[in-house]
Structure 1
Amino acid sequence: MWGGAFWLGRQTREAALDAARELDELGYSRLWTSGGFRDGVPSVYGEVLGATTRLGVASGILSIWHADPAVTVEAVRTFERDHPGRFLLGLGTSHAPVVDAKNANTYTKPYSRMVEYLDTLDAAELPAQRRALAALGPRMLTLSAERSAGAHPYFVPAEHTEQAREILGDGPLLAPEVAVVLERDEDTARAIAHEYMRGYLTLPNYTNNLRRLGYGDDDLAGGGSDRLMDALIPWGDLDTVVAGIEKHYRAGADEVAIQVLTAEPFTFPGAAYRELATALA
């Protein structure tokens, strides 16, 4: 599964740890979630690992512009020592509007910056199989196959998953994020999905990727077109949503990071994840 705001707030942390324990019991294999490193150990990742016995945890996605490589290495070593094989370091180049907003005009040559970051991790003898890259375009997908365990694409339709598998080849991990809305009422489902899409469609990395897949200005404006929503976000009853998730498996995904969207992002949609666990099992 993929988790957002609910997992990051201090005021929801105890509820999040309870949710993590339930996910562990339900059989989910990995939690992808955001968060930074603090004092060598990122709080959310370490706390979830400590609260569970089997559940994998992945950073989805740690920005290479903001995470000091030395701190990153120390954190991953700590997790590997305390929870062997359960933490996967997800790295990404973030987005120019996000990076430049914090430090003007620093988002230059993101691919080269990623190569340099990976070189630093290699020099510290951090195994390539303990990391994955946020990858959308062919160049970064190829790099993820060559220098990491694989790729974690975000905000992509199943057609991208199919193309990504062709680029990665057999073997490397392909773990796309897939947002879903378990809601039968079309107006409600579309309102939730378009609100979620709105922010991501302001980021060039995502819009450029969607343009490569044939989506145009009308699809990318505002909160996106209904056509784009239907391609990106399975919605409706349980069977329809499960079928949408399974499209990514048929397209070549090894795992799907399911993100259940609701109108209340700071509340864990436990009932939906329970239904999905039963259906997908």
Structure 2
Amino acid sequence: MTSRPALGKIGVWTAALKANSVPSEQVSEAAAELDELGYGTIWLGGNPSPDQVGHLLEATSRITIATGILSIWDHEAAYVAERHSALNAAHGGRFLLGLGVSHSALAGERYRRPYTAMKEYLTELDSAPAPVPAAQRVLAALGPKMLELSRDRAAGAHPYLVTPEHTAKARDILGKEAVLAPELKVVLDTDPERARATARGYLSHYLALPNYTNNFLRLGFEDEDFVDGGSDRLISAMFALGDAQTIRSRVEEFLAAGADHVALQVVTESPMTDLPRAQWRTLAEALPLDKD
């Protein structure tokens, strides 16, 4: 790539800032605080629209706002390209487009030939009146083919629910130049049993999605690891559990394995709606943020 998106080393992944069930003023205040704390990127989860990204861009001044991810089945490429161009022009190029093919259970009958559909969607973005440059988009890639596409037709990859081992393999496929920005789920709780219960309650949703379980199998896990919300082995691999220093150690494992950036998702009992601002502050004190 001729240029790389400005992500910083550490970002925050959250769906709660979509403002679907959280008052907009609370969303704006939380986004502004993440900006002030020194995080490099807010990854807006839950299949956000470009207009929801716009709300966060208006509330911040420095931080990159990325979709993590926008489903290609739910958002027309022409509209996405138009809004991407307009929002970046208005906000200093801080909108990074994260794209994904989602899951068959969510997309329904539309979910056919997802790899081909992603290539076609990228072509539509390339040919739009206001094209989305490859350097301003990343793909939610897990398997080798999508990682190769991330390398060849985007700035890089934003893998979700992965391990440092996956990161090392992804780096080998992506090469040195492409961006690699994995997501990492964290539970800030020093009670191991309670932390695992919180993690298991959240992971159980993902264990019904074959894209993730197939990737777990590629990483050496077995079908028995997917029972009852996930085995302790799977939980320990997919989450960072403990205090802030423990979280930092896991982040450093990802960076050492080849990640350029790690997107931290703080998991609570209601992670899709909670704004864990106190925990974001705690992590900001412990992590290597790019503070001015």
Q: What interval of TM-score do these two structures reach, taking the shorter chain for normalisation?
A: over 0.9
Shift of 1:6: 4.9
Which of these residues, 77, 80, 83, is aligned with residue 88 of structure 2? Answer: 80
> Which letter maps to 1:208?
N
Q: 2:120 aligns with which of 103, 116, 122?
A: 116
Q: Distance in 2 between matches of 1:258 and 1:12?
A: 23
For 1:246-265, what aligned pairs fall within 5 Å after superposition?
246-265=252-271
- Is residue 188 of structure 1 aligned with residue 170 of structure 2? no
Q: 1:29: which partner in 2?
A: 40
Q: Aligned match of 1:135 in 135, 138, 141? A: 141
Shift of 1:280: 1.1
Using the size of structure 2 for normalisation, the TM-score is 0.90
1:201 match: 207
Provide Cα deviations, 1:117-161, integer angstroms capped at 9, x if missing partner.
Answer: 111111123211111000000000000000001000001111111
For 1:5-84, list aligned pairs within 5 A. 5-34=16-45, 35-37=47-49, 42-84=50-92
Partner of 2:238: 232
Quote the offset at 1:187 in angstroms. 1.8
Give the SS at the match of 1:31: strand
1:51, CA displacement in angstroms? 0.8
Give deviations 1:145-195, integer Å, cap 9, x for gaps.
000010000011111111101110101110001000010111210111001
Matched-pair contact (CA < 8 Å) for 2:18–2:48: no
2:152 to 143, 146, 149: 146
Gaps of 5+ in 2: 1-11
Of all paired residues, the percent bearing the same amino acid is: 49
- C-alpha separation in 1, matches of 2:120 and 2:224: 37
Deviations 1:71-123 (A, max 9, x none): 111110111110122000000000011111xxxx3211100000111111111
Q: Partners in 1 of 2:143 and 2:104 — Cα distance?
A: 16
Q: Which has the higher contact order (CA 8 A, sep 6+)?
A: 2
Corresponding residue for residue 8 of structure 2: none
- Distance across 1 between alignment mates of 2:19 and 2:146: 27
After superposition, give the CA deviation of every residue in 1:199-246 in whole Å (9 maximum; x if it has no partner). 011101000011001100111123111100101101012211111121
Cα distance in 1, alignment partners of residues 111 and 270 from structure 2: 32
The answer (yes or no) to whether the contact 1:201–1:222 under 8 Å persists in 2 is no
Count of residue pairs brought into register by the alignment: 273
Calculate the TM-score normalised by the size of structure 1.
Answer: 0.94
Residue 5 of structure 2 corresponds to none
Describe the SS at the equivalent of 2:184. Answer: strand
